[in-house]
Amino acid sequence: MSAMQASSRIFVAGHRGLIGSAVLRRLREHGHDNLLVVPRSELDLRDAAAVARFFAARRPEFVVMAAGRVGGIVENTMHPAEFMDENLAIQLAVLKAARDADVKKLIFFGSSCMYPRECPQPMAEDALLSGRPEPTSLPYAISKLAGVFLCLAYNRQLGEQRFIPVIPNSAYGPNDDFDPATGHVLSALMARFDAARRAGRDGVTLWGTGAPRREFLHADDIADACIHILRQDVSSLALPVNIGTGTDISIRDLARMVADTVGYAGRIEWDATKPDGAPRKLLDSGRLHAFGWRHRVALAEGLRRTYDWYSRNGSGLDKADA
């Protein structure tokens, strides 16, 4: 199987979102300049015919499929149908076009929410489908499970591992969605505490109990994991493969860390009538560690870098091109 070279044609789908922008940035830093990026205004990835024409005309050799509809508990609860139909449409269109265009290797992003709610910790890849995912993220989880297993089905029929489903844990960093109504927990906390500090508020109330534990991974680490995979012979790599740090933190402790990072010194209160989500989501990343990759960005450093970016850029993410 061909490994990615500096001159390879690489299509980064979702290049303006959190993970896609990190992949694009890191590829450029590694000397890749034959990069294909198209805004949603020019290519709607839900349109299978348009996606097929794009692949036939541009013939990407490698694809990083970072596009899709994402969001936290609130978004999943309010828009379950959109989460399913938009993600399924994008995945079916891009994966089929990539197969038909004989793409050499494609990275597909699953999600840690695909694992059972009561999954043994840390969560190993073999635990997928062994139980029901957390109800508050079920629409997104179902759509992502479909994409992962479509990748595996294509590999079986093709007789080689061209479609590489990876499962990163909670991502954060530049170009995240910092809207408290739609973003994931870390970015939403950062925006809320920053706004409270600026307004001089003496208290912030957060959803849930703060007890659940989560593993957070900087987008640059995810990008580096993807580049590592694209450059290697993956014929012996068991799929799918988790991408994580191996450590987690309670939401309560994370909230205090984020508040300290942004300089908010007020009270943090918890509304236990609101849902917590899954009690814990820590990945077993042994497969990828054995394949030669480990994360580099510690959480405290990642928070500082993310807040520096947020202070300069504001909300960042253009959801139309995520």
Question: From CA 171, how far away is CA 169, in angstroms rounded?
Answer: 6
Question: From CA 254, how far away is CA 236, in angstroms rounded?
Answer: 37
CA dihedral sign, ordered 205, 302, 275, 68 = positive
140 is catalytic: yes
Question: Residue 67: which residues within 8 A CB-CB, separation 6 or more?
Answer: 13, 14, 17, 20, 45, 90, 94, 322
Give the residue from 85, 317, 297 showing the smallest Cα distance to 183: 317
For residue 91, give both structure tokens: 């995945």
Cα atoms found within 13 Å of the Cα of residue 216, Cβ hemisphere only: 25
Pseudo-torsion of CA 250, 296, 64, 13, nearest 10°?
70
Alpha helices in the chain (DSSP H): 18-29, 48-58, 73-78, 80-100, 138-158, 185-199, 219-230, 251-262, 286-290, 299-313
Say how many C-beta atoms besides its own lie within 10 A of residue 313's C-beta: 12
Question: Residue 249: which residues within 8 A CB-CB, separation 6 or more?
Answer: 213, 214, 215, 216, 257, 299
Give the residue from 123, 316, 128, 141 showing the smallest Cα distance to 214: 123
61 phi and psi, to 5 degrees? -90, -35
One-letter amino acid identity for 234?
Answer: V
For residue 111, give both structure tokens: 């999600």
Give the residue from 319, 201, 313, 310 showing the smallest Cα distance to 265: 201
Selected catalytic residue, list 140, 154, 172, 264: 140
Give the active site residues.
140
